């Protein structure tokens, strides 16, 4: 078992280049299923999840080659329409492949996906959307058996602006003759990035980033090269790390519009945020202040993927804060672990009340999920004494060697192996 061993108390100083977005790359990799020519993705992030997605493409018949910071995907040999349980169980994003496989082969057999246990996260929105396009889907023995023979373009209305459902329906619609309109779409930057990627290969998608997306069907996609966007959640994580520890950190390669809700919540919060182009400088020399209320919402609202990290910051803020989790019913699993470090947090249903403490104290804590694990690391960075964060394989799913990034900024953290 691998863990992070942290000696808290160091200020963070220096500059850090932000990695490519995991949540952008995963649907883009699924989009490669639609191609029969080579794709090259630049600045490819070697997260556990992205490597698993490459394994899924290889199982479908693709050939992949990682060199330097790029990955080359030979898509012409993709021939299978079934994903094995052994791979699908590792990541929830395996479900993105369903729409793309249906689009290319008119049939698919896909197991229910895995991923972090942060709530039910049902895929009924995916299934309902694909059925509105004419797909026949049977749920049997843990698999979705899908027939896309009679799929046609049309209007798809999503009950809730789900990122995954929006992306899946987009992928399923690329080759449908006529125009498909998706209503009540999610608006996340990763959806815009998927549309830009597909359009660069010859797709005709408009409206991404708004509540209505239109896809005019094409007959084929070409190969090409593409550079996905950088990770807004990683950016936000290191912004909050700087506030927690104090320091002067410059993050490069960022798009501050993608974290506008975080920036808004940190306005006048004992820190200075200096934005110049794709660089964000964070200067924090005082204990942060409480935030009266934060509610997680679909983009452009405050992201649920930053909720554990900002809760860690609020645990050492001056005053009392309220955090409301509106998206995932099990996304407070990190609270019990933060309490081991001395945090004063009371949870009632989907609401957490955090009374900031002047000091947290090191302890042994356990990651329950990816973002909750990141929040525990941030708390450990400021806690007095030594903190051990176990089961960091969760963190590795979305941060590439997080400990090395933090070491560059002066944090006293190392990866250790425990028997």
Instruction: Note the pLDDT of residue 121.
Output: 46
Question: How many C-beta atoms lie closer than 10 Å to residue 390's C-beta?
Answer: 18
Which two three-digit tokens encode residue 8?
Answer: 């808290």
Q: Is the dihedral of CA 157, 161, 167, 168 positive or negative?
A: negative
CB 353, CB 346: distance < 8 Å: yes
Alpha carbons 239 and 228: distance in angstroms, whole number: 21
Domain locations in the chain? 2-18+230-417, 22-226
Q: Which CATH class is domain 2-18+230-417?
A: alpha beta
Q: For residue 120, what pLDDT is reported? A: 44
Nearest to 87 by CA among 115, 47, 116, 119: 115
Residues 339, 330: Cα–Cα separation, whole Å: 17
Q: Which residues are catalytic?
A: 116
pLDDT at 92: 67
CA distance to 21, 127, 295, 392, per residue, from 372 (Å): 18, 29, 17, 11
Contact, 363 vs 7, CB < 8 A? Answer: no
Contact of 266 with 239, CB cutoff 8 Å = yes
CA-to-CA distance for 55 and 415, rounded, in angstroms? 26
Does 22-226 match 2-18+230-417 at the fold level?
Answer: yes
- Between CA 218 and CA 175 the distance in angstroms is 5
Write the CB contacts of 120 (distance below 8 Å, at least 6 apart in sequence): 329
With residue 196 as reference, give the H or E element that holds it. Answer: helix 189-200
Global pTM reads 0.93
Spatial distance between the Cα atoms of 375 and 177, rounded to a whole number of angstroms: 46
Contact 168, 101 (CB under 8 A): no
Q: How many CB atoms lie within 10 A of CB 228?
A: 25
What's the Cα-to-Cα distance from 247 to each of 220, 298, 310, rounded to whole Å? 51, 30, 17
Model pLDDT for residues 130-176, shown as the tens digit of each residue: 999 999 999 888 788 999 999 999 999 999 999 999 999 999 999 99
Q: For the chain, which residues score pLDDT lower than 70?
A: 92-93, 113-122
Cβ proximity of 315 and 360 under 8 Å: yes
From CA 341, how far away is CA 42, in angstroms rounded? 40
CA angle 402, 408, 410 (to 5 degrees): 105
Rounded distance between C-alpha atoms, residue 224 and residue 36, angstroms: 11
User: So what's the pLDDT on residue 119?
Assistant: 41
CATH superfamily of 22-226: Enolpyruvate transferase domain (3.65.10.10)
CA distance 240 to 308: 11
Burial class (CB in 10 A: 0-12, 13-18, 19+), 380: buried
| 72 within 8 A of 40, measured Cβ to Cβ | yes
pLDDT at 279: 97
Q: Which residues contact 342 (CB under 8 A, 6 or more apart)?
A: 357, 359, 360, 361, 363, 383
Please tell me the chain's helix, strand, coil percentages from 3-state DSSP, rounded to the nearest 5.
Answer: 35, 30, 40
Q: Are strands 294-295 and 212-216 parallel, antiparallel or unpaired?
A: unpaired
Q: What is the tens place of the pLDDT at every residue in 293-310? A: 999 999 999 999 999 999
pLDDT at 122: 64
113-135 per-residue burial string, b: 16 or more CB within 10 A, e: under 16: bbbbebeebebebbbbbbebbbb
Q: 359: exposed, middle or buried (C-beta count within 10 Å: 0-12, 13-18, 19+)?
A: exposed
Q: Is 372 exposed, middle or buried (0-12, 13-18, 19+ CB in 10 A)?
A: buried
**Cα distance between residue 128 and residue 134, in whole Å:** 10
pLDDT of residue 327: 87
């Amino acid at each position: 078992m691998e863990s992070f061993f942290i000696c808290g108390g160091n200020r963070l100083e220096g500059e850090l280049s932000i990695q490519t977005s995991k949540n952008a790359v995963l649907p883009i990799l699924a989009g490669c299923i639609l191609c029969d020519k080579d794709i090259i993705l630049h600045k490819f992030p070697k997260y556990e999840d992205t490597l698993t997605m490459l394994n899924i493409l290889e199982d479908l018949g693709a050939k992949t080659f990682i060199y330097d910071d790029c990955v080359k995907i030979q898509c012409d040999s993709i021939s299978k329409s079934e994903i094995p349980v052994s791979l699908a169980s590792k990541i929830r994003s395996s479900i993105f492949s369903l729409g793309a496989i249906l689009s290319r082969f008119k049939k698919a057999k896909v197991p229910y996906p895995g991923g972090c246990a942060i709530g039910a996260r049902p895929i009924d929105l995916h299934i309902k959307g694909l059925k509105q396009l004419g797909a026949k889907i049977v749920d049997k023995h843990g698999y979705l058996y899908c027939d896309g023979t009679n799929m046609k373009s049309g209007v798809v209305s999503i009950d809730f602006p789900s990122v995954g459902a929006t992306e899946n329906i987009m992928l399923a619609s690329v080759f449908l003759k006529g125009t498909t309109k998706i209503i009540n779409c999610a608006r996340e930057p990763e959806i815009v990035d998927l549309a830009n990627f597909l359009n660069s290969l010859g797709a005709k998608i408009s409206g991404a980033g708004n509540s209505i997306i239109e896809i005019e069907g094409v007959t084929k996609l070409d190969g090409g090269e593409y550079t996905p966007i950088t990770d807004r959640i990683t950016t936000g994580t290191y912004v909050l790390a700087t506030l927690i520890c104090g320091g002067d950190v410059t993050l490069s390669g960022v798009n501050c519009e993608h974290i506008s809700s975080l920036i808004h919540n940190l306005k006048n919060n004992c820190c200075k945020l200096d934005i110049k182009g794709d660089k964000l400088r964070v200067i924090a020399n005082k204990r942060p202040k409480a935030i009266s209320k934060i509610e997680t919402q679909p983009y452009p609202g405050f992201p649920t993927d930053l909720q554990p990290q900002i809760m860690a910051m609020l645990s050492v803020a001056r005053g009392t804060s309220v955090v409301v989790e509106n998206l995932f019913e099990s996304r407070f699993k990190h609270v019990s672990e933060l309490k081991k470090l001395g945090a004063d947090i009371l949870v009632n249903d989907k609401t957490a009340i955090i009374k900031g403490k002047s000091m947290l104290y090191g302890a042994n804590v356990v990651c329950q999920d990816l973002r909750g694990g990141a929040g525990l690391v941030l708390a450990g960075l400021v806690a007095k004494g030594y903190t051990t964060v176990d089961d960091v394989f969760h963190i590795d799913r979305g941060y590439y060697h997080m400990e090395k990034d933090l070491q560059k900024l002066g944090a006293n953290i190392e990866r250790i192996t425990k028997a």
